[in-house]
Amino acid sequence: MRTLLLLLLITGIAVAQEYPRWFLSQDQVQCQRKIVSVMRAPSLHRDSAVALAFRVSCDLLAKYTKVSVKGGQAFWTTEAGVSSMGASYTEEYDSSLNDIYQSTLKVLDTFIDKQKTIVLAGDSSSCAMNDLLRERVSVGKIKQPEWVEKLPDDKRYYYGVGSSEEYFYESSSWQRAEHNAFMSLARTGHSTVQSLQKKNVIESQDVFNEDVDVTLQNVEIVARWRDVKKKVFYVMAKTNR
């Protein structure tokens, strides 16, 4: 019995570290419109989980099509380092595009295991899928991509990378990393950022605010990577310059 449980545990871990190539290298999927969502594993019915993930995908694509991001974040710096004092952002986009995308896009592929439900949605008439994109890839065998530490040098796009720690639900880790990549784009040079620095001479402390007011269009997720050893999730996003 113990041997069987150990084998099941090992098998479960191996499966959890496998992903379809289109998920890790989303930019390789040639589509006029495509989007990926990561949700929790199905609790009962697989079809219901896929349908929910598809609706979430369409809403996410509506946001990525054109979104205005406004807000700010306060930081507190001391000799010990930098700490966040809190952040508040609003995102405004045309949510009616959700209904349009639900009627025009299709589920192109799915990946479901004990940890998550992943759905790739896109325009079936323009999307080119093949066996290589559907191939399962063991992320533990992939070396750290260069973009994790150095963004691509590309005059056509702005890039942003987001990361996340490992949460109890793997889907939460991927969602947080993607959100952080999105916010990284909002803070790039094409956004309006104003910083106010204040210094307390006695305590050698700095408090400064970062304000963001920017409109992003046609945001796309380029790639994902998971550092299995350090338990960190990474996502890279891009938008047109």
Domain boundary assignment for the chain: 18-240
Distance of CA 224 to the CA centre of its chain: 8
Q: What is the mean pLDDT of residues 4-32?
A: 71
Q: What is the mean pLDDT of residues 228-235?
A: 96
> Does the pLDDT of residue 88 top 50, yes or no?
yes
Q: Judge whether 95 and 67 are in contact, CB under 8 Å.
A: no
Tokens standing for residue 96: 């009616």
- Per-residue pLDDT of 133-158, as tens digits, reads 999 999 988 999 999 999 999 989 99
> Does the pLDDT of residue 4 top 50, yes or no?
no
- Per-residue pLDDT of 180-218, as tens digits, reads 999 999 988 555 444 455 555 545 567 667 788 899 999
Q: What is the pTM of this model?
A: 0.85
Query: To which H or E segment does residue 150 belong?
Result: none
Q: Judge whether 139 and 228 are in contact, CB under 8 Å.
A: yes
Task: Report the chain's mean pLDDT, rounded to a whole number.
Answer: 86
Predicted pLDDT of residue 57: 98
> Does the pLDDT of residue 10 top 80, yes or no?
no
What whole-number distance in Å separates Cα of residue 89 and Cα of residue 85?
14
Predicted pLDDT of residue 82: 64
Predicted pLDDT of residue 212: 86
Please state, for a pLDDT cut of 90, what percent of the chain lies above it.
Answer: 67
- Give the contacts of 139 (CB within 8 A, at least 6 positions apart): 17, 18, 19, 24, 225, 226, 228
Which range is least confidently modeled, 63-72, 122-131, 188-197? 188-197
Predicted pLDDT of residue 23: 98
Predicted pLDDT of residue 124: 84
> Does the pLDDT of residue 8 top 50, yes or no?
no
- Residue 135 burial class via C-beta count within 10 angstroms: exposed 0-12, middle 13-18, buried 19 and up: exposed
